[in-house]
Amino acid sequence: MGGMNEQFKATYFTEAAELLEEMEQCLLALEAGTATDEAVHALFRAAHSIKGGALAFGFTDIAGFTHAVETVLDRVRCTPSMMDASL
């Protein structure tokens, strides 16, 4: 069972890295003023997915940090200064 769990964790980290890249691209598009509504939604979905996966594996530090990022994103709703802070 341990080997399978490690496989799932490895998959989570691979997917989380991809989601972080997606978040970066969304933030850069927002900063440049070229983002669509879908990019904003993708930004929030990516953060939520990272947090959910972290909670599933007990990575509480990652989940807590990502929750804080979601809170900031929600409060500021993607202003240029938020983009700088997030990037």
pLDDT digits (tens, 9 = 90+) for 26-76: 989 888 888 888 888 899 999 999 999 999 999 999 999 999 998 888 876
2-86: CATH topology: Four Helix Bundle (Hemerythrin (Met), subunit A) (1.20.120)
| Gyration radius from the chain CA atoms | 14
The pLDDT of residue 45: 94
pLDDT at residue 82, as a whole number? 61
In 3-state terms the chain splits into helix, strand, coil percentages (rounded to 5) of 85, 0, 15
Other Cβ atoms within 10 Å of 40 Cβ, number: 16
**Residue 20: is its pLDDT beyond 60?**
yes
Give yes or no for a contact between 24 and 87, defined as CB atoms under 8 angstroms apart. yes
Are 30 and 83 in contact, with CB atoms under 8 Å apart?
yes
Contacts for 73 with CB less than 8 Å, ≥ 6 apart: 43, 44, 47, 82, 86
In single-letter form, the type of residue at position 86 comes to: S
Q: Is pLDDT of 1 > 60?
A: no
Against a cut of 0.85, is the pTM above it? no
